[in-house]
Chains A and B, each alone.
Chain A
Amino acid sequence: MVHNALSKQSAVGIDTTAIRIRESVIERRARFRGLAEPLSLLMALAVLIVVFSLLNERFLTTSNFQNVLTQSAIPLIVAVGATLVILLGSIDLSVEGVMGATGMTWILLSANSRGGVDLGPWAWVIALGVALVLGVASGLIFTALKVPSFIVTLGMWYVGLGIATMLYGTDLLPRLEDEGLKGWTSRISFGLPNSFWVALLVIGLGILVLRSTRIGRVTLAIGNSETIVRSAGLPAFRVKVAVFAIAALLSGLGGILATVQLDIGSPTVGSGVLFIVIPAVVIGGTHLGGGKGGILRTVLGVFLLTILNNGLILSGVESSYQSAVTGAILVAAIVFAAWSQRDRLRVAK
């Protein structure tokens, strides 16, 4: 076959127009695919809103709207970090622990009913510093020691909770004293709750980082293939640690806001957040394997889950049923998302 003279013939006269036409079709199809997924999410949101407003007239009111935005603010902030981590192909389970440790540190260093010191803005810096340390620790253990992020952050969850519980001690509840801060998160400025403004800022920054910075782009690349990232000479190590640090900082910020919202310091301020954040990212269409997805989709996912919870409460559904419904919707959404890519030789892990 090597010495076959005929082989020279196949090199001549190729009609490339057919190939080009096929490519333009592929391109158009790709563009449609990019729109289709968020569209179906938006439609699901619309359906939910219509159904709930028919079930309960209080659902479609300004005050309930603001209520939903306040409820979604903290999950949104945390979910921006979670999206980045999941885009790496990793996962951050430490969210609630970091929230607890940061929230406790912050309130004990601010004006509170236990007395102690009031460091003012420094309380923010130190509290977020605690979050940063936890995040960098997760990131380093994960990257340098190559322990799966699942395990590392599961441990870090409890480390965070432990720190929070230690700080909590056996004293009185630390209650927020600063009158200006009390209720700040749900107070309305320019038509929207304050905490939602913070969330908007975080979402905006998150999108900027993901779309237009080296960290963001390398994050997507690592999610696609870390081997290729390394052989392309890109800083995989640094980016992975940075992303875990960013995620922890955002969890910490969420922890402080949750403490303000609750009015008192508690190691479990974050409880329940993980189970909104991770499903929201997945429902939004970000692949758990990494590399595909985005922050805006996650935002839609958070809204979907918050509106669902809110609507179910307003419709008088018991909270035990609520979690069952949320869980069922999550599974359905994942099946739906995976359906289009099914292929018998593809395996799920």
Chain B
Amino acid sequence: MSDVTTPPAVLRLDAVSKSFGSNRAVRGVSLSIQPGQVIGLIGENGAGKSTLLKILSGNYRHDEGTIAVNGREVQFRGPADALRAGIGVVHQEQSLFTNLTIAENIEVNTPIGRGGVNRLGLYNWRRLYADAAQALDLIGSHLNPKTRVSDLSFVDRQMVEIARAIRVSAASHTTPLVILDEPTAILERTETAILEREISKLRDIGSVIFVSHRLDEVMRICDRVVVMRDGELIADRSVDDVTEEELFRLMVGRETHAAVRNRRSIEPATKPVISIQDLTRAGSYTDVSIDAYPGRVLAILGTSGSGREAVARAIFGAEGFDSGSVSIAGYSGRPSIKKAVALGVGYVPAERKTEGMVGEMPADQNITLTHPGSAAIGPFELPRRRLSLARLWFEKLDIRPREPEHMLQDFSGGNQQKVVLAKWLNSSDLKALVLDHPLRGLDPGAAETVNAQIRSVCDDGTAIILIPDTIDEALDIADDIVVMRDGRISGVFDLGHDNPATLDLLERML
């Protein structure tokens, strides 16, 4: 794949492999990246993208193959070595110190005796702030370096991570290489656009490897796209020679077959499963009234300041409210999570790692955690039944690898999400399901699988309340759409008879 006439590649991989036990996560990957290139890395959940990137960041050691940075072969013994070689990484998991300032996070790897850290190891704060401001300026951000990271929105946190990655790269006095593992997955679409613009600009100062499941995004930002499947690199294309449909087929190994939903209006006689009236929480949302009906998907659209997540959490009892009422299947007393679960409500949180799963527990136990279903006889859970029940869900949702006895934290992000979903689907009497960004981090094929599953429980009579990532996702699957802006409802559509355009919805959001 190398080209002799060009300058040495910023990065060259030769037959790099890495296994976890018997699971060969990365198999013989060869790749070379030229200065000023933006490479899109795509692949299904569990294809090995993060593993490959973690090899490059020194977090994992590869079993076979060689890595060369700027023409020199390297051996990383730890993250510090990769940093020294000038590889800056923004990991899939948020990796900023939220209790520290922006400046410190960016300058965290400044060696003693350089920049804002003097030879005695003492910090010169003024210098540190100035250097950080400069790094931010480089990517066109005007954040105040003295701000604490916990006070930042998600886009801005990503910007800080990128600034840090570039700073690391620049310190090596070579062409910076910045690696971004799904930086847009947790962002709203409006925020993504800002980030996209900045990533495109990086081309002028260095090279970029960019991972995303949003193919349109990849097509817009990148020069070249490489596709991974089952740990192997199976395609390497210029974006000019490839279409989104083709990329989808390469990734998933089949055509897309998103079914068009047959929509009906709400029938006059049906009673809502969940009905919220004039719900208000100071500083978050005001006078929100929403009805969710059995057998219908209700999507709530809005930007990050709209308060839609808080409303969803209030329905599940995960957050309090000041006034108004939430009634679930006729019950409208004091809401609590326990009560909500008892009444047959499920909730897939956006913060999967902290609220949705127990990472140190095997996947099968995570599935039977709330509703043991057929895995239990009375209060006793039978391990063997639990395992076979879990296998069923693994099959149905195509969770990979098919090893439900493994710790959930060792699964790839997308597959963890499917396990969380299975936990609620395992209920025999699911009346309503609240889904907060359920497709976050899922590859397009997996998104189809999950959407199909959501539709099927919905058709069985469950009411779905969905906080989608994108407007398209809402138009794709919803029967009703509620739009929120600044804590108030700014639009209600019954897709049975309304046909709102994307711009129409966008206008009500902003």
Q: Which residues of A contact B (CB under 8 A)?
A: 1-4, 6-12, 14-16, 18-19, 22-23, 26-27, 29-30, 208, 211-215, 217, 220-221, 223-225, 228, 230-234, 291-292, 343-345
Contacts and interface: CB of A to CB of B under 8 A. Distances in A.
B121 A214 contact: yes
B100 A217 contact: yes
Contact of B156 (A9, A23, A30, A345): A23
Contact of B99 (A1, A22, A23, A291): A291
A220 B337 contact: no
Contacts of B96: 228
Nearest to A16: B194
Interface stretch (B5-13, B144-152, B234-242): B144-152
The contact size tier of chain B is 35 or more
A2 to B, nearest CB: 5
Given A7-B216, A19-B153, A224-B100, A233 B248 contact: no
A232 B99 contact: no
Given A2-B444, A22-B305, A220-B100, A232 B193 contact: no
B4 interface: no
Given A1-B473, A10-B502, A30 B147 contact: yes
Nearest to B473: A1
Interface string B327-345: 0000000001100000000
A120 B224 CA distance: 74
Contact of B190 (A6, A10, A211, A345): A10
A10 B99 contact: no
B180 to A, nearest CB: 15
Contact of B244 (A2, A6, A211): A2
Given A2-B256, A221-B100, A15 B305 contact: no
Interface stretch (B78-86, B370-378, B387-395, B413-421): B78-86
A224 B148 CA distance: 13
Given A7-B216, A10-B190, A30-B148, 11 more contacts: A2-B248, A2-B444, A3-B248, A4-B472, A22-B305, A23-B152, A23-B156, A233-B58, A233-B82, A292-B99, A345-B355
B122 interface: yes
A344 B190 contact: no
Contacts of B313: 345
Nearest to B215: A2
Contacts of A26: 151
Interface in B294-343: 305, 313, 317-320, 336-337
Contact of A15 (B256, B471, B510): B510
Contacts of A232: 79, 83, 95, 108-109
A67 to B, nearest CB: 37
Given A7-B216, A232-B95, A1 B447 contact: yes
Given A10-B193, A223-B99, A233-B78, A344 B472 contact: no
7 residue pairs, one from A and one from B, having the closest CB atoms? A233-B80, A233-B79, A212-B123, A291-B99, A10-B189, A224-B97, A30-B151
B472 A225 contact: no
Contacts of A223: 99
B123 A345 contact: no
A220 B149 CA distance: 13
Q: Which residue among A2, A12, A15 has the maximum number of chain B CB atoms within 10 Å of its CB?
A: A2
B216 to A, nearest CB: 5
Interface in B68-89: 78-83
26 contacts: A1-B444, A1-B470, A1-B476, A2-B216, A2-B258, A2-B444, A9-B506, A10-B471, A11-B220, A14-B510, A18-B305, A18-B510, A30-B148, A212-B123, A217-B100, A217-B123, A223-B99, A225-B95, A225-B97, A231-B57, A232-B79, A233-B79, A233-B82, A291-B99, A292-B99, A345-B318
Nearest to A218: B108
Interface in B345-389: 349, 355
B471 A212 contact: no
Interface in B18-54: none
A224 B80 contact: no
A233 B216 contact: no
B459 interface: no
A344 B147 contact: no
B148 A3 contact: no
Nearest to B477: A1
